Structure 1
């Protein structure tokens, strides 16, 4: 089974004429894992396969191609392989792609999270995997996430206490996925949320999928004070809510676990909420699957992961693809 890079973020199975998360003439069958920009086809008119929710989100982000949508567990067959999507738990619509063929089977994760984000369709695995292509964004032992219950409590407490003290709480989170997860966690507070316009246009897809985002509206500079605000770090740096003098910022990202974040970021709270799995979840999953070979992508620290896999007698290969920036 040949497994190769296809550009700065794509993967190609040349023997099967299949590609993952890229645009190219080198494969007739391209499977898109989710709607983050570095996994969408660079050619926004490329014909691809994806889940229905990924298709809806991609359309709102500029995709205008002809997508074939596949539900989770609904296989499609080419002349060389049988392909099935499994829920990845990363963002709404995110899918792992399982390819079965005479050459063996391959599981491509895209970006994934287990336990899954509560604002997704969940997380499931096929039973037997020969070749495992996994991202390893948080590939050092310093990255170990708290439980979703603990993180939800931390987010709700920050919002509640900030409001009670007369300040406006601002959560810094990527517009697609993280923002909606934070809103879902805040929904039980029943306090009006204002979200950055780029994130607001994506929320309807989540609501259509049955994800509770609470009471929310698009950001309005004139009325945002006293609301719960959800936006991005770049928007804050460009004047978002700059008229609100009494505000407190919470940075929601897996990168919040880095000690350097405490000095590099001017925020009031660091909350290590990631839409990727942590280091130990990655190692345990590889042990559970016990594949013939693991292909590691999207990490600056492949040697650490490979060391742990070597100790479990699991062969591994590093495919040097650029690390995910959406977190």
Structure 2
């Protein structure tokens, strides 16, 4: 099965005319795994298939092309192939794309998390695929996450203790996905939450999906003190909550596993809560899927992942999305 680059860092399957997370002039079908900017496209002429929440979020983030929503687990059948979306557990609407054809079966993960984020549809994968294209964002053995329950406890404890001591808790988190997960984890505290405006406009999609985000509203500088605040790291340099003198800041990301982030960002708490799977979950997933070939993308060092896969007799190689690749 041949692989080529599609758009900025997407995948194109030339024999099937399928583009994933990018567009290609020869693509007859275009699929998007989720609505993060590095995976969605804005090509109006590319008729796009994705999950319903992904298309809703894409439109709120600037996509205004034609599209069709696909249900998880319901195949799109053509004369050449069948494509099924599986919930990826990364953010709401995130999907893995499973392609079946005479050339074999291929699973393109996009970004994924297992165990899944509690603010998603969950995680499910096909039992087997001949070819696997997997992200490995945290593809080093230093990345091993705590359980979802432990991380939820850290988030809630930070918010609760900060409020009890008459400080304002500020969670640094991406506006799409991580921000809503933090809000969901704080919802049981039943305390007012304010989220950065760019993230606030995306929250109704989570409401529609039945994800409890707690009693939230858009950030208001004049009334934010004493609320649970959620914003991206970049917002702090723009003056977010700069008028609140008594505040404590928690940085929420897989990169928080690196202690150096505390001084780099000048924060009070590092919470290593990621919307990607960790290194060991990645290796286990590849082993359980048992593909003929694994293509590794989005990784700081593919040789490390390849070494661990080699030990399990799993054939793998780095797929550089900056270049076209044939196999």
Taking structure 2 as the reference length, what is the TM-score of the superposition?
Answer: 0.96
Equivalent residues of 1:21, 1:32 under 8 A apart: yes
Compare 44-53 and 297-306 and name the one that shifted more.
44-53
Partner of 2:34: 34
Partner of 1:214: 214
Per-residue deviation, residues 108-129 of structure 1 (Å, max 9, x unmatched): 0000000000100010011221
Q: Which runs of 5+ in 2 are unaligned?
A: 323-327
CA distance in 2, matches of 1:176, 1:263: 25
**Alignment CA distance shift 1:196-1:4 (3 Å):** same
1:62 aligns with 62
Secondary structure of the 1:2 match is coil
Partner of 2:10: 10
SS at 1:5's partner residue? strand
SS in 2 for 1:222: helix
Aligned Cα RMSD in Å? 1.1
Q: CA deviation at 1:45?
A: 5.0
Match of 1:278 in 2: 278
Compute the displacement of 1:237 (Å).
1.4
**SS of alignment partner, residue 25 of structure 1:** coil
1:71-102: CA deviations, max 9, x gaps? 00111123311100000000000000000000
Corresponding residue number in structure 1 for 2:46 = 46
Corresponding residue number in structure 2 for 1:23: 23
Alignment of 1:249-260 (within 5 A): 249-260=249-260
Aligned to 1:303: 303
4 and 45 in structure 1: CA distance in 2 versus 1, 3 angstrom threshold: closer
The corresponding residue for 2:134 is 134
Give the Cα separation in 1 of the matches to 2:202 and 2:98: 27
Give structure 1 stretches of 5+ with no counterpart.
323-327
Q: Are the equivalent residues in 2 in contact too, given 1:45–1:63 (CA < 8 A)?
A: no
* Residue 207 of structure 1, CA deviation: 0.7
Query: Contact between 1:297 and 1:321, CA under 8 Å: does it hold in 2?
Result: yes
Task: Please give the alpha-carbon distance, in whole angstroms, between the structure 2 residues aligned to 1:38 and 1:44.
Answer: 17
The 8 Å contact of residues 60 and 202 in structure 1, kept in 2 or not, is answered as yes
Which position in structure 1 is the counterpart of 2:99? 99
Partners of 2:46 and 2:59 lie apart in 1 by 12
Partner of 1:265: 265
Moved more, 137-146 or 260-269: 260-269
In the alignment, the residues of structure 2 paired with residue 4 and residue 319 of structure 1 have an alpha-carbon distance, to the nearest angstrom, of 10
Aligned to 2:325: none
Q: Deviations over 1:189-244 (max 9, x none)?
A: 00000000000000000010000000000000000000000001000111101011
CA positional deviation for 1:36: 0.4
Alpha-carbon contact 1:45-1:64 (below 8 Å) kept: no
Distance in structure 1 (CA, Å) of the matches to 2:316 and 2:75? 28
Question: Contact (CA 8 Å) 1:191, 1:215: kept in 2 or not?
Answer: yes
CA contact (8 A) 2:91 2:120 kept: yes
Q: Which residue of 2 aligns with 1:183?
A: 183
Q: Take 2:313 and 2:185, find their aligned partners in 1: how far apart are those partners? A: 40
Residue matched to 2:118: 118
Contact 2:172 2:232 in 1 (8 A): yes
Write out the 4+ residue segments of structure 1 that deviate beyond 4 Å after TM superposition.
none
Corresponding residue SS for 2:221: coil
| Kept in 2: contact 1:134–1:296 (CA 8 A) | yes
Moved more, 121-130 or 183-192: 121-130
Is the contact between residue 42 and residue 64 of structure 2 (CA under 8 Å) also seen in structure 1? no
Per-residue deviation at 1:44? 4.8
Contact 1:50 1:70 in 2 (8 A): yes
| Distance of 2:321 and 2:284 partners within structure 1 | 22
